[in-house]
Every structure is written in C-alpha cells, then in structure tokens.
Structure 1
Amino acid sequence: MRLYSYWRSTTSYRVRVALHLKGIPFETIPVNLIEGEQRSATFSQVNPSGGVPVLELQDGTRLTQSLAILDYLDTIAAPKLVPADPLLAAQVRAAAQIIALDIHPVNNLKVVGMLPDADADAKVSWMLHWMHEGFNAFSQAIHNKDKYCFGDTVTIADICLVGQLINAHRWGLDLSPYPRLTEIETNCLALPAFQAAAPDAQPDATT
C-alpha cells in the first residue's frame, strides 16, 4: 500500500496510526500542503478533492477520507478499531465524528486561509475556540474511567482525539480543563503505533 500523506496532517495521522496498529506495511508518498502540492494537476488525478490522506491499494484503487479509510482497514485486518456491539460502535463513531466533523473541518488550512480580514492572531483564536467547543463535547461523549476513550482497547475515537491534540499543543490551547483527554493521550502515546505515526517521525517532517 501507498499512503499520500503530509507529516502535520492530522487526518493522515489517523490513517498512519491505524496502519501501524494493524501491522500493515505501507510506503509514504509526501504531499506538501504548505507548498500547495495538493492543488497541482498531478495530484488532482490522485484525489480530485485535493486533500490527504489517500490510501492506494496494491491494485491501484485509491481510497480517500480518513474515516472511510479507517472503516476499510477495519474490514481487512485486526485489531478492530470499532467495537462489534452496535450501541457501543455508534457511541465510538459519534465521539470520533466530534473531532473529525465538528472540529477539524473549520480548522482546516483551506478554511482558515479564507477567513476574511483575519490576521494571524485572529486565525489562531478561531482555531482555539472550535477546539475548546469540541473538546467540551467530546469529554462528555466518552467513558470516564477507562484506559482509553471506550474501555481498554484503542478505537477510532482515541485516534481522532490524539491527532487533534497534536494541533491543540501546536497552537497553545490550554488543556488544563481536560485532564481526562490528556490522560488518554499519554496512554496512547506509550504505544509503538502512535510513536511511529507521530508527525516528527515522518520522512517529510521539517522543523
């Protein structure tokens, strides 16, 4: 498999974690979002939406959208990232979607870049506001005392959370109101799969 990825992309991070957790080997194809490679004519043939991640299978089939890719990976390899129990599965997906659908899209580079008349500080304030709102909701959607968000097994909720916390740290969000979330983050970051997926561990990482 080949993964079109950007080292700081939290959506790419989700897929990297899942691939490492499942022990699926892959080749990283860097796409530099800052330099605009995602808007090139070449990459538009890979993903017309102009985003990462894109997972290219061995037969050349390309999958886009991180949550859809995680669903696919769950059908082909263990460990499962969504529980078998239908009710718990719905709760896990709902928590993951708070991150993936409520926080991430409005903080996405192409959205923030279009904020009218906003200077750098205003753009950071915008991102911190939506992270704060989302983390408040996420905190109430997960279990209170488990090792991870839902029990003692990593799920897509944990993967989405830790990816978003990367941005929270980067932009200076005060995480003191969220000790449960940072506890989960610590537990996840102790796992080799999360370490291997870390932004700084990627071949295209820059300072």
Structure 2
Amino acid sequence: MTEPVLHGYFRSTASYRVRIALNLKGVAYADAFHHLLKGEQRAPDYLMLNPQGFVPTLEVDGTVLTQSLAICEYLDETIAGHKLLPDDPLRRAGVRAAALLIACDIHPIQNLKVLQRLRGLGLNKEQVTDWARQVIDEGLEAFDRLIAGEEGPYCFGDQVTLADIFLVPQLGNARRFGVELRWPRLLAVEQACLALDAFSRAAPQNQPDAE
C-alpha cells in the first residue's frame, strides 16, 4: 500500500474513527483537511472524489474509499496485525451490530447536515441542540445495554474492536452536546482506549487542523 491520503476534519467523528483504525494498523498517511463549518466539503473538486460531500474519504492505491465503516473494514481485511473484527462469526456480528448502532442510528440523525436542515425548518438553536442530545442519549443507552454482558476493559473483552473505534468518538460528540454521560461501563471503555497511543494521536485536539 502506498501512503494513503485521508480527507477529513478534526471534529468529524467519522474521520476520528478512521484515524484510530489507521493508527492501530500502523499505517502512515497524509492529511487533507476540509473545514465542514465553512462548507469546504462541498467544493467541486472534493465532490469529484466524494459525491456525498462527506468526510472521511480515503485515497489509497489509486482508489477512492468513502464511509468510515467500509474504510475500517477494508483496512482490517488488507493489513495484518491488530484485528478490528473477531474471527468467530457470532462475535463478529456482535461487534458489527454495536458499531452500526452508532454509525447508522446515532450519527446520521445528529450530524451537521441534519442539524442544518432542522434550523432551516425554523427550529432555534436550543431546539436543535435538544434534538441532537436526545438522539445521542437514546443511542448510548441502547449501546450500553448491548454490551452489558461483555467483560472489559474494552467493549468486547481484552482487545480493541470496531465497537470501541466507533464508541470513543461518539462519547466525545456527546460531551459537545451536553449529554449526561451516565454509563460507567462506557466511560471505563473510553478511559482504557484513550490510554492507547492509537486513540490519543487520533483525538480531535491533536490534529493539525484543530481550532
């Protein structure tokens, strides 16, 4: 693999996921930044790469990959080392379900594009924030219950999986929206993950484009 280029934004939780995965896999990469609040993701040259105008996008070996879950699974399937998904099919399905809970049922309903549309429909700032807070709260409550029978220190035992890669950025986003983090198990997972170099280097505040 030639050095990939990761198109992202420091505060994007989806970009954060891919940064963690790249770090866990030991892949060096170049950054290309797109400031979402300034609309840089809608620039014509970027839309040629990613027609959705979302981040992240990963350019690798002449191919363009989009969607953080697909990118993480590609990395897991093509690069040896740390496994992001268990070998056992049932365990693998469980990890995927946890990751998808965040990727499909929390994040899309409270992402920037949705919140902007809510404002366009006449909701004020407080109402939009309340919307996002409720979506995140309900989703994290379900996530907590989903992994309740699993031992730590991570979501599914003693190895970081896709579930952890998706959970940690979402917890950061929850704080931004003022969600009460009332789940000791999730906070313990976060603490264990953030002690790892792969997570700390990927954190939003440690990115070159951080404001």
- What TM bracket, shorter-length normalisation? over 0.9
Distance in 1 between residues matched to 2:133 and 2:69, nearest whole Å: 23
SS in 1 for 2:107: helix
Distance in 2 between residues matched to 1:21 and 1:145, nearest whole Å: 21
Identity among equivalent pairs (%)? 51
Question: Would the aligned equivalents of 2:35 and 2:41 in 1 still touch at CA under 8 Å?
Answer: yes
Equivalence for 1:162: 168
RMSD, matched Cα: 0.8
Question: Would the aligned equivalents of 2:84 and 2:162 in 1 still touch at CA under 8 Å?
Answer: yes
Equivalent residue runs for 1:84-99 within 5 Å: 84-99=87-102
> How big is the shift at 1:145?
3.0
Segments of 5+ residues of structure 2 without an aligned counterpart are: none
Equivalence for 2:5: 2
Equivalence for 1:11: 14
Question: Would the aligned equivalents of 2:5 and 2:58 in 1 still touch at CA under 8 Å?
Answer: yes
Alignment of 1:199 onto 2:188:
no
Alignment of 1:172 onto 2:178:
yes
Equivalence for 1:44: 47
Alignment of 1:186 onto 2:186:
no
SS in 1 for 2:26: coil
TM-score by length of 2: 0.95
2:82 to 79, 96, 107: 79
User: 4+ residue runs of structure 1 moved beyond 3 angstroms?
Assistant: none
Distance in 2 between residues matched to 1:12 and 1:179, nearest whole Å: 26
For 1:167, the aligned partner's letter is: N
Alignment of 1:119 onto 2:124:
yes
Deviations 1:48-83 (A, max 9, x none): 1100100101x3211000000011000122211010
> How big is the shift at 1:156?
0.5
Alignment of 1:70 onto 2:72:
yes
For 2:168, the aligned partner's letter is: V
Aligned residues: 204
Question: Would the aligned equivalents of 1:144 and 1:180 in 2 still touch at CA under 8 Å?
Answer: no
TM-score by length of 1: 0.96
For 1:158, the aligned partner's letter is: D
> How big is the shift at 1:169?
1.2
Segments of 5+ residues of structure 1 without an aligned counterpart are: none
SS in 2 for 1:3: strand
